[in-house]
Structure formats: C-alpha cells, structure tokens
Amino acid sequence: MSDRTDFFVIKALEDGVNVIGLTRGSDTRFHHSEKLDKNEVMIAQFTEHTSAVKVRGKAKIQTSHGEMTNE
C-alpha cells in the first residue's frame, strides 16, 4: 500500500511545533502528539494506525505531492 510506505518530512521553523497523528478508521481522534523545536526534523509514514497528520506551528512539510510551508 503506497499510501502507507511513503515518507513525509516535517521540519520545524519555530519552537514548539506539534505534529499530531490522527487514527485510521471510523473513529477519528488524536493518538499521538510530537513536539519539535526549531530546525528539528521528523520523518514519518502513514500506518495502519495513522491516516492523517495535523501540523500546528510554522513548519516546512515535504510529501510526494510537493512541498509547502504553513506560514
């Protein structure tokens, strides 16, 4: 399943960026929150448990769909 094997990269552009994982399936809820400080990078995949990710705070996000900054 390519949607679960692709990696995405999140680089924090400020302190305290939150990367929040949301559950897969009929019950959509937060299950994990990771806090990144400025210039920290997180490399992650979508998984059996995680189908969506919410990024709170300024970050550069790279996916197979392109790159964006949420400023």
> Which residues of this chain interact with ligand TRP, rule CB under 6 A?
19, 21, 32, 34, 44-45, 47, 49-50, 53
3-state class of 67 per DSSP? strand
Cβ-closest position to ligand TRP: 21
Q: Which amino acid is at 4?
A: R
- Nearest distance in Å: CB 14, ligand TRP: 19
Got the DSSP string for 42-61? EEEE--SSEEEEEEESSEEE
The tokens for 4 are 């679960």
Least distance from ligand TRP to the Cβ atom of residue 56, Å: 12
Q: Which tokens in the block code for residue 53?
A: 């990710």
Closest distance to ligand TRP from the beta carbon of 71 (Å): 21
Residue with Cβ nearer ligand TRP (28 or 45): 45
